[in-house]
Amino acid sequence: MKMRKIFKFVITPKLHNKPVRPEKSAISRTIKAILNCFWISLLVTAIFLSTYASESLAKVRVVSSVPNFASIAEEIGGDKVEVKSIAKGYEDPHFVSPKPSYILLLNKADLVLYNGLDLEIGWLPPLITGARNSKILTGALGNLDCSTLIPTILEVPTTKIDRSMGDIHPGGNPHYMLDPRNGIPVAKGIADRLKEIDPENASYYDERLRDFVGHLNVKIKEWDHKLAPYKGAEIVTYHKGWVYFSNWADFKEVGYIEPKPGIPPSPSYVAELIRRIQQMNVKLVIAESYYPQKTPALIAEKAGASFLTLPASVGGRDGINTYYDLFDVIVGDIKSKLANTKEAVKSSNLAGG
């Protein structure tokens, strides 16, 4: 009896009240792992699709040195582009004060458009360098010098130039956008570059290019018709900024307020210019709105000519929001001045007769 009790004590462990938890089965662990993989893959897919969608919907960011190119880029790019201009239409494009905000714009740009021919030489290159954006460096897809699109550059120097000759541009006169016909090759060049950067929307850019070129050709005929009665008109301008316009409109530039490009006139030069205007019976003196107005206005008054301040860029005056608007204003203002002059001459001749 004693041995049984001892044996019973040895082989019978003391039971505890706390229940023993069963081990997780291999099946449940497998199911949980599968579910975790499913949710992770679903999350990755969602992130990928979101990123792809945002990239597909992202607009091409275009930065233009001056507003004329920005206006045309907006016409061609429509809602596929986001366009900003560094210079304002009322600013002299030769001299623009660099700002940190311009560097930020260029840092995020996919495409930079500029005039070239050293028009922006004093301010744009440092901004592009400071932006640290390889996409818009010279030679890159996102760098478009619009002067390379122009079929004929005027006033290309044929002799060695130096600073004594004034602000002469070695590559030729840079104000080519004041010939409305040059808007067409520029638009085509911008469209081609947008198609390279954003090939998915190539047909969209082509369609808008056709619309722009078609409308601009209609407007050019309209402007040409308005100025037709005044072909051969002799004019004086402040700067050699209207050479392309005069070439298109068949005007003859017989003098300039600046004795040399970028050089202000001396009193003796002003007196001589007044005599020349009187002798040649010049009826119109033109100055861009960003140049000093007092001297050209005085010269016109003393010489008996009309004085006209004109915008040279989109945004140069309230209401000029497109490239079409710019020439509507320029052609309209010139026609009005020359028509009044013509009528005044007729009246004077009739009175004298």
Claim to verify: residue 119 and residue 257 sit in the same structural domain: no
Q: Are residues 131 and 278 in the same domain?
A: no
Q: Convert the pLDDT of each residue in 140-150 to its tens digit.
A: 999 999 999 99
Domain that holds residue 310: 228-352
pLDDT digits (tens, 9 = 90+) for 187-207: 999 999 999 999 999 999 999
On whether the CB atoms of residues 300 and 282 are closer than 8 A, the answer is no
Query: Is 166 inside any structural domain?
Result: no
Both 232 and 219 in one domain: the answer is no
3-state DSSP of 294-343: HHHHHHHHHHCCEEEEECCCCCCCCCCCCHHHHHHHHHHHHHHHHHHHHH
Number of domains present in the structure of the chain = 2
Lowest mean pLDDT of 19-23, 95-99, 143-147, 176-180, name the range.
19-23
Same domain, 276 and 252: yes
Q: Which two tokens stand for residue 260?
A: 């040399």
- pTM comes to 0.81
Question: What's the CATH number where 322 sits?
Answer: 3.40.50.1980
